Each structure stands twice: as C-alpha cells, then as structure tokens.
Amino acid sequence: MDIIDKYIIRKFLSTFFFMIGVVMLLSTVFDISARLGEFIENNASASAIIFDYYVHFIIYYGNTFSSLIIFLSVIWFTAKMAQDSEIIPLLFSSRPFTRILRPYFIAASILVVFSLILNHFVIPRSNKTRLAFEERFYRDRMFVQDYHVQFPGNKIVYFSSYLSDYNVFNDFRIEVWDKKNKAKSILVAKSAKNELGTNRWKLEHYYSKHFGYPKDRLEVRNKKDTTFEFQTHELVIRENRAETMTYKELKAFIARESEKGNPNVPLYELELHRRTSLPFATYFLTLMGVAVSSRKKRGGIGINIAIGLFFVFVYIFTMQVTTVAAEKIGFPPVIAVWIPNILFGLIGYYMYKVAPK
C-alpha cells in the first residue's frame, strides 16, 4: 500500500464520518422538534432521552443510511480531487484503472464488515432499548384488526380487533382441528383479556363446543377464568419487533411464525435479508461514485452531487417497489432485497467501463 492508497482511504473514511455526523445531527434536531412535546407530556427524563433513545437512534439510522452516505461521500471527495487536478496524474501514471480503485474498495470493505456486524449482532440489542423507550413515552398504543394465527397442534386463534389501551381481544375464537381436518373443539367469546405476563385469561359471554362420540359437549357462561399456552405478546406483534432480534433469534422467530401462519412473515424475512444486502450495496455505490466523479466537469462538484442524488432516489424507489411486491403479491423476499443491488451493480459496471481512463 503506497502513499496515494493511504491518502484515498483517509479521505474516504474521514469524508464519510464527517457527512454521517452532519446528517445524524440534523436528523436528531428534527426528531427532537417533533417529539419534544410528547417527551415533556410523558415526563421523560433527560438521561433517558439521551442515553436510552438518541444514542441508539443515531446508531440505528446512521447505519441504515450508511451505504447511501458512502455513495455521496465518494462523489464529494473524488470530485474535489478531480477539480484540484489530483485525479489526472493517476490516470496518466500508466496504472490500470482497477489499481486506482483498490484503495476505494479497501475502505469500502472496512465499512461493509463493520455494518454487517452492526446489523446482525449490535443494532438488534441497541434497538431493544430504543423501542422500549418509544413504547413507554410516545408509541404506547397499538391497534390490530382481523387477525388470525395458527399454533402447533392445528389450533387456530382469531380475533376481530385488539386495542392496547384496554388489552381486550374482541370476538375471540379458538378452533382445534385433528389431522383429518375435522373439528375437535370451538371456543368463542365476545371479549377476552390476558393478564399480562401470565397465561391466565378472562373470557366474557363465552361458549365452547367439543365434538366427540357419542355426544358433543356444549358449555355456555357469562364469564370464565381459564389458561391458554399463549400470551398477548404472541398474538399481537409489532412489525418492528424483528428489529430487536439478532441473526439466530430472527431465523428462529421466522420459523416459528411461519408454522403459525403469521401473515407478516414476509416482513420479517425482508428484515433478515436486508441486513446483508444493504451493506453490500456499498461496493457498487462506491464504483458508481468513482465513475461519476473522476472526470473534471464544468459545473464543478455541484453537478456530480446532483447526479449522485438522482441515483440515490432511484435506488430508494427501486427498493421500495420490490419491498411492496414482497409484502403484497408474494414476491420472494430474498430476491426483492437483492434486485436493486443487482440492477445498480450492472449500472455501476457500465459506468466503470465508459469512465475516462
């Protein structure tokens, strides 16, 4: 590694950390202005706001947008080098263009490895603290409608609505079927309430019917205290719960929820695969950034930044389209999160081929 390699790596990393610092500072300021009233209303302490929320807020969102900030960082400092005529000696030094790219990809690899470790192991634990703060101080209400789930043993649980304010399940229903798809029992209650943290339940306006030879058995009551093998948190799951799980925990959670027939499984699979695909986007975004900004342009750095922002918006739009396809029409999540990378990887390769060398 020679002097120019160290110079480019230092410029790459310093520009990246400077830009991510600026972006997260602005994001924090905007978030404080939006949340301050709720923090005061719910008596959140200053230490909780800083250490339980904003420290983890910066870690989470900084890493989430790191690939795109890397892209803009590469464009910024490479365009600055081009404007200062620092790229021209490299292009005329008889070095192949791939040799000039080497320090860029060394720096990118450092950030990719760092981001992968954060995504799969560090940030999930960090998110537990952040999301616990959110639910305590400003996101404590949850409403679920027309939900059904299947537990092992062919047990199907359904409820028409749930509101966390009252912790009440309306139109609660449990069906148990045998292996031949014949009903074994049906339980219906106008409302059901779980004693949080336990398996104890209170049913109101309840009836149950057990099917069996030689007689069926029917039970009707206004109220009944009983127990089930599940609790509220197994029926009512926030979509962002997957964000609090490490790689192994999320894999096990997806397998369990798939057995239950949870309709949100594609969302959890998207979260799992996105943790890997987004860091690897750094490579082709770095390649595109160098190809876009290595030529000195009349418009200066501004035109390079404008081109970079255009590609950022197109990338985000493509990712959103494939995500919706996975959620709504059953598109495989692993393909949905990698299509933008493949598409922009091809664009990056084309831009590299036509870049001045």
Span 255-294, pLDDT tens digits: 888 877 777 888 899 999 999 999 999 999 999 888 888 7
Residue 124 class from Cβ within 10 Å (0-12 exposed, 13-18 middle, 19+ buried)? buried
Residue found by looking up tokens 């966390």 in the block: 164
* CA-based nearest residue to 243, from 216, 209, 270: 270
Q: How many CB atoms lie within 10 A of CB 34?
A: 10
Taking only the tens of pLDDT, the chain with its 357 residues reads 688 889 999 999 999 999 999 999 999 999 999 888 888 888 889 999 999 999 999 999 999 889 889 998 998 888 888 777 777 777 676 677 778 889 999 999 999 999 999 999 999 999 999 988 988 887 666 778 888 888 877 888 999 999 887 889 999 999 998 877 888 899 999 999 999 889 999 999 998 988 876 678 888 889 999 999 888 878 887 777 888 999 999 999 898 888 777 778 888 999 999 999 999 999 999 998 888 887 766 656 667 777 777 888 888 888 888 888 888 888 899 999 999 999 988 988 888 887 665
Rounded distance between C-alpha atoms, residue 271 and residue 4, angstroms: 39
Rounded distance between C-alpha atoms, residue 312 and residue 306, angstroms: 10
pLDDT of residue 136: 82
DSSP 238: -
pTM of the entire predicted model: 0.77
pLDDT of residue 87: 73
